[in-house]
Amino acid sequence: MADENVKTEEEKIAEAVAAKEKEWQDKYTKQVNEASKAERLKYEKELEKAKLTESERLAAEAKEEKERLIAENTSLKQEKSVTVKKTMLNEAKLPSFYINDVRLAGAKDEDELKSVIKTITKEHNDYLSSLGKQNQSTSPQVGSTLVLTNEQLAELATTNPEEYRRLRREQKEKGKR
């Protein structure tokens, strides 16, 4: 019975190894097929160019160059547009997340962009003013803001010495800062 269990374990291991090898084989076969397809298409394109007459070949090259230049021009226009929008947001002292505002994305020219920035600035300032003074200070107050007279401190020292020592420690730490 022990031999049967051992054999079944060995068979399971052999099956797992075979499945893994098949998986690797399939994966690399797929990669080789994709690479060979890309090479085949590349050479077919070169063969088609070789069959063309000189004028047809020059026209095809000019067409490819024109398409490349159009794509590059479009990319540069988009980059310039983003840069202009970021600059205008910085000049208006607005947070950078407004670059994703739909109104900015839809602005077609610089005049429209300026009016959209003005609108966003007004909305942003209205929002900040609606928050009130809570937006003014972002750091929490640390320690006690309680001011005690000398008599109150003396009384505290006699009634609650631990609290008195804590207050004195805070006062000394504040004095060092």
pLDDT tens-digit profile of 66-114?
A: 999 999 999 999 899 889 889 999 999 998 888 888 888 888 888 999 9
Residue with tokens 């009130």: 132
Q: What is the pTM of this model?
A: 0.43
Query: Is 62:52 a contact under the CB 8 Å cutoff?
Result: no
User: Residue 131 and residue 138: Cα distance in Å, rounded?
Assistant: 13
Instruction: Decide if pLDDT at 2 tops 80.
Output: no
Q: What is the pLDDT of residues 4-18, one digit of tens each?
A: 666 788 888 999 999
Sequence-ordered list of residues with C-beta below 8 angstroms from that of 116, at least 6 positions apart, any chain: 101, 103, 104, 107
